[in-house]
Chain A
Amino acid sequence: MTGPRMWGLVAEFESPDALLAAAHRVREAGYRRIDACVPFPVEGLTEALGFRPTWLPLLVLTGALLGAAGGFFMQWYAMGVWYPLNVGGRPLNSWPMFIPITFELAVLVGGLTAALGMLALNRLPMPYHPLFNVPRFARATQDRFFLAIDARDARFERGATAELLHGLGAAEVSEVAR
């Protein structure tokens, strides 16, 4: 093959339903390195593409618990150990007074984990991706639905895969340069 090496193929669909049907068929045909690019989350697409559930909720829970534990520890340590101040014999570990900050830090760390963890797991920021080489792909963030098959897929075969995508009602199938 001359020219730039191929990253894979991308097929353009006009409706989410067409994309969903195509995703099912492509997976049934045995393809595994597939992804879809859509302007909004299409219901059922994750299942159609066979993605596993994400670890993100567990990460966020861990973050929130760490935030709470760290927040409480900080207050308990500062008020009870580092600089104990006896005010009228009140207990140094006045835990009810530590709850608001404990809660705020749980939310803060949990929320930051949710936002930054999502970006990290998605490998964003990612300024370049081969799909951006396809001019029509600009509509993936607007009004068209794309199904991409990676050339490294075991079943990938330039002609046959393109034909399969055409057969699924793709409006256009483009080769993606690397």
Chain B
Amino acid sequence: MTTATAPPSGPPPVIGAPHTYTSVTDKIAGIVLTQRTGRGWLFGFMLGLALLGLLALAVTMLLYLGIGIWGVNVPVAWGFAITNFVWWIGIGHAGTLISAILLLLRQEWRQSINRFAEAMTIFAVMCAGLFPILHLGRPQFFYWLTPYPNTMSLWPQFRSPLVWDVFAVSTYFTISLMFWYVGLIPDLATLRDRSQSRIGRVAYGVFALGWRGSARHWQRYEIAYLLLAGLATPLVVSVHTVVSFDFSVAQLPGWHSTIFPPYFVAGAIFSGFAMVIVLAIPLRAAYGLQDLITERHLQNMAKILLVTGLIVAYGYFMEGFMAWYSGNRFERYVQLNRIVGPYGPAYLGCLLCNVALPQLLWLQRVRRSAVALFVVAVFVNIGMWLERFVIVVESLHRDFLPSSWGMYYPTVWDWATLFGSFGIFLTFFFLFIRFIPMISIAEMRMLLEEERGEAAA
């Protein structure tokens, strides 16, 4: 048994307090079923709705007046929309990493954070999916990107990374949703059986699909869950790889680079874990979940943040090195322009947030302090947004011919759409923590059983 006798230097336990099957069920289901709606929740939800309103306004203006209300123009045609798309979709990656890759690696500590990390994935991908569609200029024709029988007898250009992206992102969303829902079914059944109100019983009952925990069902369920994890693992790597192809297949200096796929995937996991930390720390404090999302979780996530941050730093370094080593004057200029050009502060800010600040995580004191970790994670999120901004805008604004150079200045509608997208995320996330158990109850029982088995051994 590690809980009682572990020396103080060992890793803290995955489950803090002495729990039983009954007490974990009571605790997690109670948050949804019996706890009263707190002020903090109401405040957060209202904030989400307000931002959602801002988004509705921004999108209405966009549809009414056209894409000219954004700052985009030739040569910078991608602007905020693509920056936000890449940023949001990157955030989603941590959810899949936690739920799929850590499951395959048998990292049992993942079990108390995977549910809300997966929810985060789904909502982040929803936010991400919005931007390319809005960015189309004529969003009503978005379905032209899909292969469907049409009177024009035309197909999408399957050789284009932009079309790959459509397939990658829609597959990613579908599989993440399936994975999340399959994981939810046993917990929905728990809520159905515990709910005191008829509405609750019917609502949870419908979505629980009549789950009764039959051993025969569990047998297939576990296989299906494992296979979904096995499929989601290469999928999550492929998604940001394909996103990076959007850039690296082009010939633009600063984009045309073979390091992009791995560097994008690492960056995605980096920003995603930062977002999981940003969400987990207030959640565990607000709902008193310190015994289920323990210091061990925070420390492990901090370590992953540090490692992926170092990979990202290596990516930055190699970009600079290859620009110099290639001897290509355009590549060299792009790198120089990054630092001293008009968007220099964005690049330096990105280096500060993504490379310098995460080094604090070498210190155990920082990894152990929830507040410090939260602050570092917020800066990483900002830094990763800046990174994407630099990649998108800085390369576009000055390419080969100085006569085609130009500047991009975001307008108020660019900012409104960016902050508005948080409206989607926050609204859904707050609804999620109010109506769905934010920690997988079934998996917590499994964790208890495993710990009990270890204790007996």
A residues within 8 Å of B by Cβ? 16, 35-43, 45-46, 49, 51, 54, 56-57, 60, 64, 74-75, 78-79, 82-83, 94, 97-98, 100-101, 103-105, 107-108, 110-112, 114-115, 117-119, 121-122, 124-129, 131-132, 137-143, 146
Asked whether any CB of chain A lies closer than 8 Å to the CB of B430, the reply is no
Minimum CB–CB distance for A92 against chain B, Å: 10
On whether the beta carbons of B218 and A79 are closer than 8 Å, the reply is no
B residues within 8 Å of A by Cβ? 20-22, 25, 147, 153-155, 158-159, 161, 163-164, 167-168, 171, 174-175, 178-179, 181-182, 186, 189-190, 192-194, 205, 209-224, 227-228, 231-232, 234-235, 238, 242, 245, 442-443, 445-446, 449, 453
On whether the beta carbons of A118 and B194 are closer than 8 Å, the reply is no
Known pairs A105-B167, A115-B182, A137-B212. 5 more at Cβ < 8 A? Answer: A37-B214, A37-B215, A38-B218, A74-B158, A124-B210
- Given known pairs A37-B212, A57-B227, the reply for A83 and B158 (CB within 8 Å) is no
Q: Which residues in A have their C-beta under 8 angstroms from that of B228?
A: 111, 114-115
On whether the beta carbons of A141 and B186 are closer than 8 Å, the reply is yes
Q: Which residues in B have their C-beta under 8 angstroms from that of A122?
A: 214, 216-217, 220-221
- Please name the 9 residue pairs, one residue from A and one from B, whose CB atoms are nearest each other, closest first: A118-B224, A143-B21, A125-B209, A126-B210, A78-B155, A138-B193, A36-B215, A115-B178, A100-B164
- Given known pairs A39-B442, A112-B174, the reply for A139 and B214 (CB within 8 Å) is no
* Chain B at the A interface: SS class: helix
Q: Which residues in A have their C-beta under 8 angstroms from that of B159?
A: 79, 94, 97-98
On whether the beta carbons of A131 and B224 are closer than 8 Å, the reply is no
Q: Which residues in A have their C-beta under 8 angstroms from that of B212?
A: 37, 129, 131-132, 137, 140-141
Residue of B nearest to A64 (CB): B231
B449: which of A42, A98, A101 is its contact (CB, 8 Å)? A42
Minimum CB–CB distance for A8 against chain B, Å: 13
* Cα-based distance from A97 to B167 in the complex (angstroms): 13
Q: Which residues in A have their C-beta under 8 angstroms from that of B216?
A: 35, 49, 51, 122
18 pairs of residues in contact across A and B, judged by CB atoms under 8 Å: A37-B215, A41-B222, A43-B453, A57-B223, A57-B227, A78-B147, A97-B159, A100-B164, A101-B163, A103-B234, A104-B171, A112-B178, A115-B181, A118-B182, A118-B220, A124-B209, A139-B193, A141-B186
Q: Which residues in B have their C-beta under 8 angstroms from that of A119?
A: 209
Q: Which residues in B have their C-beta under 8 angstroms from that of A78?
A: 147, 155, 158
